[in-house]
Amino acid sequence: MKQIADQITAAVSSIEKQLDKKPEIGLILGSGLGDLAQLIKQPTIIPYNQIPHFPQSTVEGHAGQFVFGELEGKQVLIMQGRVHLYEGHQMEQVTFPIRVMKKLGIHTLIVTNAAGGINQEFASGALMLIRDHINFMGQNPLVGPNDDEVGLRFPDMTYAYRPALRQQAKQVASEMGVTLEEGVYVGVLGPSYETPAEIRMFRQWGADAVGMSTVPEVIVAHHAGIHVLGISCITNMAAGILDQPLHHTEVMETAERVHDQFMALVQGIIRKIEHP
């Protein structure tokens, strides 16, 4: 625990030396959704490989860098790409960026992902507000010694996705005329896509979308007292729904198709976020 704490301190110290203001809102951008960072004027860009102890992203569509600056009048810190368990990282590495964000002063986190649609009423390219999640990764990032100064040993997960932020997102979507679905996200380990049988099981459990990220980040953010909003871009229908194989290329192409709408929605949400 002390070793991890020291690594977090070293990473934070390195980042703070390059920032002239304190970030308040964090964003994690999933596959194909990284263009939002281009809206920041005069950004400070910090590649992950320049930050001590920071895990490296290896997935197509993930730039692997922090982008800091002003967006909609707020100081934001954008993770342009994330790391995943399936890349071979340990759970503490996958969630390391969240601990760093907390120590930098982030109070609100918007986490996004590209996901497969399980709910057959969703169309490819739909945006889904995450109401709740199912952890089917077989691991929990809070396993191990607990630092009571960081968070509770047994954190309640009833409101992991903060209702007030979800309501703000719905309001923004309504004002924009954007259809915003809402549902349950199931996180799986990957990297193989799910089987049709698994998708049928997840549907019976009440899941609406499936992906290979987000859940560990949200658990740790909630544990640390960060307010969380989650948005999935439904980039493809999950296995067995359509009579065709799944490809990561489709994920990237669909994310590109809806990215203008996605960026406008996130901008509107950031505009409404106030310090808790």
Q: Is 162 assigned a ligand-binding role in the annotation?
A: no
Which DSSP category does 239 fall into?
A: B
Which of 14, 53, 72, 86 is labelled catalytic? 86
133 in catalytic set: no
The encoded tokens of residue 99 equal: 């601990």
Residue 86 annotated as catalytic: yes
Q: Which residue of the set 37, 137, 160, 212 is catalytic?
A: 212
- Catalytic site residue from 57, 79, 84, 239: 84
Active site (annotated) includes residue 237: no
Instruction: Pick the catalytic residue from 11, 37, 62, 128.
Output: 62
d(CA 48, CA 66): 7
Phi–psi pair at 10, nearest 5 degrees: -65, -40
Any catalytic annotation for residue 92? no
Q: DSSP character for 99?
A: H
Distances (CA, A) of 268 to 26, 75, 164, 261: 15, 15, 15, 11
**Catalytic choice (11, 37, 57, 87):** 87
Instruction: Answer yes or no: are the C-beta atoms of 226 and 147 closer than 8 Å.
Output: no
Tell me if 113 is assigned to a ligand binding site. no
274 catalytic, yes or no?
no
Q: Could you say which of 53, 107, 248, 259 is catalytic?
A: 248
- The answer on whether 89 is annotated among ligand-binding residues is no
236 is catalytic: yes
Whether residue 133 is annotated as binding a ligand: the answer is: no
Has 14 been annotated as catalytic?
Answer: no
Burial annotation 143-153 (CB, 10 A radius, 16+ → b, else e): eeeeeeeebee
124 has binding-site annotation: no
Catalytic (active site) residue 119: no
Q: What is the largest CA-CA distance in the chain?
A: 52
Is 82 flagged in the annotation as binding?
Answer: yes
The answer to whether 194 is a known ligand-binding residue is yes
Active site residue 212: yes
Alpha-carbon 137 to chain mean position: 16
CA dist 38 and 29 (Å) reads 12
232 is catalytic: no
Does 218 carry a binding-site annotation? Answer: no
The active-site residue, picked from 198, 236, 237, 238, is 236
Given a contact cutoff of 8 angstroms between Cβ atoms, the answer to whether 23 and 105 are in contact is yes
**Residue 114 labeled ligand binder:** yes
* 3-class secondary structure per residue, 2-70: HHHHHHHHHHHHHHHCCCCCCCCEEEEECCCCHHHHHHCCCCEEEEHHHCCCCCCCCCCCCCCEEEEEE
- Catalytic position from the list 57, 119, 213, 232: 213
Question: Residues at the annotated binding site for a purine D-ribonucleoside?
Answer: 194, 236
Annotated binding site: 31, 62, 82-84, 114, 194, 213, 236
Annotated binding site for phosphate: 31, 62, 82-84, 114, 213
Please identify every residue annotated as catalytic: 31, 62, 84, 86-87, 114, 212-213, 236, 248
